[in-house]
Amino acid sequence: MANACPIKVGKFEDFSWIRCEGKGSFLNSPAVKEFGESRIMRGELCLVVDLQVCTGMDSTFMGTLAGLASRLTGKGGALQVAGADEKSRNSLEDLGLDFLMAINPKHAVWIGVENKARDLLKPKVAGMTAGTVLHTRHILEAHEILSDANEGNRLKFSGVLELLEDELTEKAKTSE
């Protein structure tokens, strides 16, 4: 199995920063989720996801971002995307996620300090291993979030959801 591209994180006064260096995927999205959820539980209202050097995103990664964005919005906060190129913006928009997050906002508390924030980031490693039941549940949850985000996604990911549910059923049988 391929290695996960690095995720780097940092906590600052008015926001927390998550940077994907390489492809955002099912391999590194658990690190994003763990850090994001821990910050939200501590009252964080602004998460910045830095895609400046992100080479692409799979559906699990984008579903993870959508889940964090939904949680923040429910608390009066926001997930903001920094450094999104046209490809990243199109990927998020194609799944209808642009209504959940601010992509390259013109006004944000972190505007002007991006490079300083990036210099202070530390690597984040997920606490779950690929291929485990926990990881499969994470992938399933990300796709459920995408399916709930808009009607077009429900049809798009119905096969993936079915496969993941079948995989979890099989894993449950073998662990009995």
Q: What is the DSSP string of 76-109?
A: T-EEEEES--HHHHHHHHHTT-TTTEEES-SS-T
**pLDDT tens, residue by residue, 123-152:** 998 888 888 999 999 999 999 999 999 889
The overall average pLDDT reported for the chain is 95
Cβ atoms 30, 135 nearer than 8 A: yes
Task: Give the per-residue pLDDT at 176.
Answer: 65
Residue ranges of domains in the chain: 7-126
Q: Is 96 left (phi over 0), alpha (psi -120 to 50) or beta?
A: left
pTM: 0.95
CA–CA distance, 161 with 164 (Å, rounded to integer): 5
Task: Give the per-residue pLDDT at 171.
Answer: 85
C-alpha distance from residue 83 to each of 90, 93, 98, 153, 161 (Å) = 13, 15, 14, 25, 31
Average pLDDT value for residue range 39-57 = 97
Closest C-alpha among 3, 29, 57 to residue 141: 29
Give the 3-state secondary structure percentages of the chain, helix then strand then coil, rounded to 5.
50, 20, 35
* The CATH number of domain 7-126 is 3.40.50.300: no
